[in-house]
Amino acid sequence: MRTAYDLAIVTAVTVRVPAKLNLQLAVGPPRADGYHDLVTVFHAVSLFDEVTAEPAGRDGVTVTGEGADRVPAGQDNLALRAVTALRAARAGPAAGYAVDPGGVHITIAKRIPVAAGLAGGSADAAAALVACNDLWDAGLSQQKLLEVAARVGSDVAFALLGGTAVGRGRGERLTPALAPATRYHWVLAFADGHLSTPEVYAALDRLRAAEAGGPEGAGNRAPRGNRVKAGPPEPTLDAALMSALRSGDARLVGRALSNDLQPAALSLFPSLRKTLAAGLELGALGALVAGSGPTCVFLAAGADRALDLAVSMSGAGVCRSVARVTGPVPGAAVVRAAM
Ligand code: C5P
């Protein structure tokens, strides 16, 4: 609940929210609801969007900055869906409120590229939850906000939490990872193009069906009754990655990075192979596609090596642009409240 601004009316709240990487992304078979069970290790990095919430006659959204024209402006916008979900949670019997807090205008200043595998849309939704919780003085606990976030999208809860955390279920069931306070230095290589998350998951299902000699399998030549139809294994947490994170040794972390979606992303965006290979040749400790891509992620041995790698990558002509970031960083947090 508000303390410092007890006597003032807050007119705008601005929240800063980080992009995420997946240090491991293990994907199970498709579920009946179309989602896939995951085991993933989320890691929040220092590439931030800023989201401002202000009272308005009715709900609306304005997007500025990196890739703004690709973000839906209407009720399909994930941040507005988060506002609607928070309003409903606030009006619920548990919260004890009946009065509608009124409309809200959300302004998103984007630095996290859109449809890049960095969960920028989920980040904006998480930021909208934190901003409106403060603007409306709604007082929802972090636990309650996490529950609302999980209903809005698979990655929204993690954007609230930040740090490094294991995600299960669709990715929304989180356990913070206990690890020493190591700061990792990453280089992100942004691609000249986009990938749609549902399309990448669908491509993975097709690749797996083909491998298992399923209906889409071009090489399905096994005699009838003798077909191998092993589905993908249930996803499990990578013990080598967790032990590397506990040791704080970037070299070990670099070796343990993994992403089941990577072959699918590469099948849809083949030039990423070159990007990954270039980063490894230039000395990265590890490389992988970020989430569903097409951003590529490289781990560097330290701040200086990250700078060298970023400069060399931008000179190599294998990506649109590069950014240096560090992680882990905290999740969505209020940076300004105007009165
Ligand atoms: O939950 P979110 O809206 O971020 O998910 C976007 C899409 O990604 C889903 O519609 C689904 O196609 C795919 N997805 C999935 N399994 C997950 C998370 C996402 O299949 N665990």
Q: What is the pLDDT of residues 121-143, one digit of tens each?
A: 999 999 999 999 999 999 999 99
Q: Give the pLDDT confidence score for residue 223 in this predicted structure.
A: 43
Q: Give the pLDDT band of residue 73 (cuts 50, 70, 90).
A: confident
Looking at residue 68, the DSSP 8-state letter turns out to be G
Q: Give the pLDDT confidence score for residue 28 in this predicted structure.
A: 96
Phi, psi of 313 (to 5 degrees): -65, -40
Q: Give the pLDDT confidence score for residue 75 in this predicted structure.
A: 84
Among the atoms of ligand 1, which is closest to the Cα of residue 36?
16
Residue from 24, 36, 173 whose mutation best tests the ligand 1 pocket (most atoms within 8 A of CB): 36
Q: Which amino acid is at 264?
A: A
* Catalytic residue list contains 20: yes
User: Are 80 and 36 within 8 A, CB to CB?
Assistant: no
Residues in contact with 181: Cβ distance below 8 Å, sequence separation at least 6, in sequence order: none
What is the residue with the minimal CA distance to atom 8 of ligand 1? Answer: 198
Q: Give the pLDDT confidence score for residue 180 in this predicted structure.
A: 83
Residue 326 to residue 185: CA distance in whole angstroms: 5
Q: Give the pLDDT band of residue 218 (cuts 50, 70, 90).
A: very low
| Gap from CA of 177 to ligand 1 centroid (Å) | 23
pLDDT for residue 97 is more than 60: no
pLDDT for residue 224 is more than 60: no
Q: Give the pLDDT confidence score for residue 147 in this predicted structure.
A: 97
Question: Is the CB of 260 inside a 6 Å radius of any atom of ligand 1?
Answer: no
Mean pLDDT of 203-230: 65
User: Are 279 and 309 within 8 A, CB to CB?
Assistant: yes
Active-site residue among 6, 20, 238, 249?
A: 20
| Gap from CA of 339 to ligand 1 centroid (Å) | 38
Tokens of 21: 């990487």
Phi, psi of 165 (to 5 degrees): -150, 150
Question: Is the CB of 153 inside a 6 Å radius of any atom of ligand 1?
Answer: yes
Cis peptide before 328 (omega within 30 of 0): yes
Residue from 24, 124, 201 whose mutation best tests the ligand 1 pocket (most atoms within 8 A of CB): 201
* Catalytic residue list contains 249: no
User: Are 51 and 122 within 8 A, CB to CB?
Assistant: no
User: Are 112 and 146 within 8 A, CB to CB?
Assistant: no
Return the percent helix, strand and coil in the chain, to nearest 5. 35, 30, 40
User: Which of these ranges, 86-90, 102-106, 161-165, has the smallest mean pLDDT?
Assistant: 86-90
Q: Residue 97, class by beta-carbon neighbours within 10 Å (0-12 exposed, 13-18 middle, 19+ buried)?
A: middle
pLDDT for residue 230 is more than 70: no
